[in-house]
Structure 1
Amino acid sequence: MTSIPEVKVHFKDLKALFNAGYGALGKLHEEVNAPVVKARLLNQEVVAVYGKEAAEKFYNATYFKRANAMPKPILKTLQGETGVQTLDGDEHLKRKGIFMDLMTPDRMADYRQLLEKNLTNALNEQQGTFELYTLAKKVLFQTICTWSGINLGQLTEQEIDALADDQVAMFEGVNSASDYLNGVIGRKKAEKWAQELLQEAREHPLDKDRNLALYAFATAKDTKDNLLPLETAAVELLNIIRPTVAITVWVALMGRILFNKTEVYQKLANNFVELQDSFIEELRRYYPFFPMIPATSIQDVEIDGYLIPKDSWVVLDIYGTNHDARSMENADSFKVDRFVGKTKQISYDEEYEMIAQGGGDFRQMHRCAGEWITLHTLRVFSDKLVNDYTFSVPEQDWTIPMNQFPTYPQSKVLLFKE
């Protein structure tokens, strides 16, 4: 086996590396022309990997663990400090099972029906210029709350908007000091709100027998058959709500590829039934979302002929894997028909080449349980945007900064509807 090549990153190089954003790890790989590379960043040695073999090993609990791998600042904004993403072994299986039991075909049909109704109502109300990003944020928040068993009927529009903004603050809290502060504040407010909902559900379990996220987490237990602490249950309820609101990012990126690249729109519109799911998969592959995910090796592990020692802090380059020329032809091009014949329905095989929301097996591994919600969401939005409505497209900034996490068009996709 080959020793891991190392890139010496000097302090003066850090700004340029961080400005590379989604391409930062790719630059390290390019410098040594190797799929495995190590470097010291901010006094932390990191081993960076990408590609199909790397993903297969990375999502295998025999080789890697997630506990204590994610930097604390990320936990304080994005994921929460006691969530399923931080667990391993039996604890992970038990907690992940709660999420997976919510994702039944019937419940996915319920979600899609709710979303179609809410999105249709929201689009019908639009007159003049509006931001697709902002519209999607509110529609998705309202939809996932209703689907989860949360009644927003007693809240004002301003209160609903504020709660939705708290979800956004959590997943945008990595770009600057002010964004981070907003993310911490947003998480504290959101967790307090979720705890109040869960406490009410525990005291008045009217719908406890229904397969609703609010009641599932209100009654969830750990591996010792103890009721989850209210704080942990709140983190997990938000792990249903926040990622669904975050699909807003992909909706905005969908708007970019449809309305800024009219040839894509025309190709999809001309053969929508055959191309819709392929278009959605390619959208998730091609555009960046979060750039990487960390874990710690629990034994020596070989990846692409390189030996990674036990106890190494390893980051899997998600963006790099989705653009790996070793696995995909013309990986840096958007091909609407790339996944024709390969699209996923409600039951998936293991996945390691296109890992926009994680890889491997859903129950056993750290693959996002909400991937089905994502696919149904993008199906509904693509159908409405292509088939059901006609928009004019104002002049705007379509730029997607590669050093903004997650990134989306700067104008948030402006559309005009008469």
Structure 2
Amino acid sequence: MAFPYEWQIGVRYLRAGRRSGRNSFISFMSLVSIAGVGLGVAALIVVLSIMNGFQRDVGARMVAVLSHIELYDARGVLPDWQATVRDAQRNPAVQGGAPFVELPGMLLQEDIMKPALLRGILPQDEAKVAEFMRGKNADALAALTPGAFQIVLGSELAKALNVKKGDNVVLAMPSQDSSVANVMPQTRRFTVAGTFEIGHFEFDSGMAFIHLQDAEQILHVNYPTGLRLRIADANQAPQVARELKNSLNGDYIVRDWTQRNANWFAAVQSQKHMMFIILTLIVAVAAFNVVAMLVMSVTDKRADIAILRTLGASPPSIMKIFVVQGLLSGLLGVLAGTIGGVLIAWNLPSIANGIEQLFGIHILDKNIYFITSVPSQLLWSDVGGVVGVAVALSFLSTLYPSWWATRTNPAEALRYE
């Protein structure tokens, strides 16, 4: 037959007949090795998908409120920010720009005090660069009026301060008058004009917006201190930032959103790599089941090996038989694990919601993970890497038992047969 006999015998050994208890146990061991590899592969695919989804969702929420690119003048203010926006838009990737002023301070309401970062904006221009300014968020920010000293709070910040629309809060921040010997914080009362919600706990609990003119008045400046730029593809922000740095006339400091969160992204990537290594060890442990199964199979098939040798089978052919048997076990496990892992990764948010409702628990604490739902993003490159590693480990686990089979002495094996 065209199909090599080594493959035929290897497949037959994998199926392991029911002639004796030993053969039945070897068949059980085959199932255990397949299941072990499958579970390891599925776990690796699911965990990597969760890490990808976490990075995607948190990154998207960051981009929704942070600038794709921030631009500062070395002098501290931007007197003609409109001209700077026009210069920046000569780069085809830049879609719009908006001025801003940032004020770190403390917000007080009666005996409650919370730190917050206030951003002074022009609502009509901010809508050009901020993705979160849609729906209710846009309506709340559009209500900001210059000179009225109104403030729009993050939803979690408003809850922490126990305030609602129409209530008053007090901003306390370091005095801008450096000539005062006994520096006392300056305060300003604001009226809550509404709240916004981004879905990222860090921003919802620690950020607020006021009108640009009010922020300039508090800082005693006449111009914005920075410029936020929006580009077509946020992933191209580092490249576009370098291009703007080289093309703009003036002494500008240009920073993209990945630099502002570089430590966070580096930590996520590091965790993903470590999880890949740790879960690969699980697949490696499962591959030891293949080794155990093959050792038992070689011991049980010593007479068969001896007969094949006397019929002219070469040691490499004997080795190939058991490599086929072990590798097929690994491949079946990899196939089952890949299918299971992909299906779970695709439906993980629904599965997680069902578990939360069934047991009345909340899997992700927004105070720690920034998001409240379990994310998942399946990348076929990750699937390919997992499959490649699992197949390689399965193949390596077959080598020693298969080589050991070639050491069988036909005369010794047939003596008591």
Alignment TM-score, normalising by the size of structure 2: 0.24
Alignment TM-score, normalising by the size of structure 1: 0.24
More strand by share: 2
More helix by share: 2
Q: Which has the larger radius of gyration?
A: 2
